[in-house]
């Protein structure tokens, strides 16, 4: 193996740039030429390869987002699109590819692997929904961002004796919502994995009000059947059932941006380095991520297409601590 490429795909996540930097510098240290692919799989199909040097990744470790860019690419979902991507890599002399991204991105990695092209992945998504790993790149920063927002909202909620519905990201995974609720001391958490009746939320809020609480916070995952907007609509004509005056805040994409934490910088650095090693050592079709207190590699076959379960014990703990 003489030349590899690296791309970022799917939603951006804090720490992606640290992973890019690591792939480039470790790759060069291994005697490889390293190319960056602009705009993810779309750039791969279009042949948007940029030669990378140790200097071209200088100063990016603390930047949010991804310097290589990312884009959706419906064409890559087709076999014809993937063949175009492989043809472009072969034409540019690329012998292996590192893909930094989440579930959809790693599905693409697995498909390339099955077509015989050497691929290694870096588990990166703020949703933390990749099966097999404890934490994915970007989660720690996103969680801290959501938590800081929750703390600020709590100040206003307490001052005005209100309840707030605070929606966090996570698609169909409630991890980010649950951890934000636990760390932020929320009264209620609503996640996609457990179908919650709005009337049950109303009872929790009413009980908090009757216990003399000056405010209440409900953390809602965006993928829940009743997200923040649906929950607010349900309560619009039912304020008496809640007790508190109700407000809604959707944190949205603010959770995906910003300066990565030390943990995400280190995770991106270590996982990027492992991805290069996987290609050099011929362990193709694997993905690097955080598992059992260290960076480990799992076969893509074991990760892709499976859903990471939410820990029921933590849901129970959140209920107990909300009293």
Q: Which of 127, 129, 140, 264 is catalytic?
A: 127
Measured between alpha carbons, how far is residue 153 from residues 10, 166, 222, 231 in Å? 30, 9, 18, 18
Residues making up the annotated binding site for substrate are: 125-127, 162, 169-171, 222, 247, 253-256
Beta 119-123 vs 49-52: how paired, if at all? unpaired
- Mean pLDDT by runs of 10 across the 323 residues of the chain is 96 96 98 98 97 97 95 92 97 98 96 98 96 97 95 89 90 94 93 89 80 86 92 79 82 90 98 98 97 97 93 88 77
Predicted pLDDT of residue 279: 98
* Residue 127 designated active-site: yes
Lookup: tokens for 311: 């820990």
Task: Identify the CATH class of 3-138+260-303.
Answer: alpha beta
Name the segment(s) of the chain with CATH classification 3.40.50.460.
140-256
Residues making up the binding site for ATP: 11, 72-73
Binding-site residue positions: 11, 21-25, 72-73, 125-127, 154, 162, 169-171, 185-187, 211, 213-215, 222, 247, 253-256
Instruction: Give me the helix-helix angle, 103-114 and 79-91, nearest 10°.
Output: 70
The pLDDT of residue 320 is 87
pLDDT at 221: 95
For the chain, residues classed under CATH 3.40.50.450 are 3-138+260-303
Residue 50 confidence (pLDDT): 98
Q: Tell me, which fold does domain 140-256 have in CATH?
A: Rossmann fold (3.40.50)
pLDDT, residue 233, reads: 87
Instruction: Dihedral sign for Cα 142, 148, 149, 153, please.
Output: positive
The pTM of the full predicted model, rounded to 2 decimals, is 0.94
What pLDDT score was predicted for residue 69? Answer: 96
């Amino acid at each position: 193996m003489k030349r590899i490429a690296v791309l970022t795909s799917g939603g951006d996540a804090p720490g992606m740039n640290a992973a890019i930097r690591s792939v480039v510098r470790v790759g060069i240290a291994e005697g490889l030429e390293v190319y960056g692919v602009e705009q993810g799989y779309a750039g791969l199909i279009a042949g948007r390869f940029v030669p990378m040097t140790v200097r071209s990744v200088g100063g990016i470790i603390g930047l949010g987002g991804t310097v290589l860019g990312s884009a959706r690419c419906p064409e890559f979902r087709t076999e014809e699109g993937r063949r175009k991507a492989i043809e472009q890599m072969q034409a540019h002399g690329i012998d292996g590819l590192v893909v930094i991204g989440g579930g959809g991105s790693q599905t693409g990695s697995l498909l390339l692997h099955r077509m015989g092209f050497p691929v290694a992945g870096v588990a990166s998504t703020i949703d933390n929904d990749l099966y097999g790993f404890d934490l994915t790149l970007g989660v720690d920063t996103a969680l801290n961002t959501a938590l800081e927002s929750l703390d600020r909202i709590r100040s206003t909620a307490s001052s005005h004796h209100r309840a707030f519905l605070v929606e966090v990201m996570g698609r169909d995974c409630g991890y980010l919502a649950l951890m934000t609720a636990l760390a932020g001391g929320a009264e209620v958490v609503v996640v996609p994995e457990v179908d919650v009746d709005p009337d049950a939320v109303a009872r929790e809020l009413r009980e908090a009000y009757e216990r003399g609480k000056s405010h209440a916070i409900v953390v809602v995952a965006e993928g829940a059947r009743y997200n923040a907007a649906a929950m607010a609509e349900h309560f619009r004509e039912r304020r008496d059932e809640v007790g508190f005056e109700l407000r809604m805040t959707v944190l949205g994409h603010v959770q995906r941006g910003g300066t990565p934490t030390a943990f995400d910088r280190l995770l991106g650095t270590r996982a990027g380095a492992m991805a290069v090693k996987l290609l050099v050592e011929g362990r193709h079709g694997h993905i690097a991520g955080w598992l059992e207190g260290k960076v480990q590699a799992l076969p893509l076959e074991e990760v892709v297409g499976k859903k990471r379960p939410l820990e029921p014990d933590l849901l129970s703990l959140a209920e107990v601590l909300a009293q």
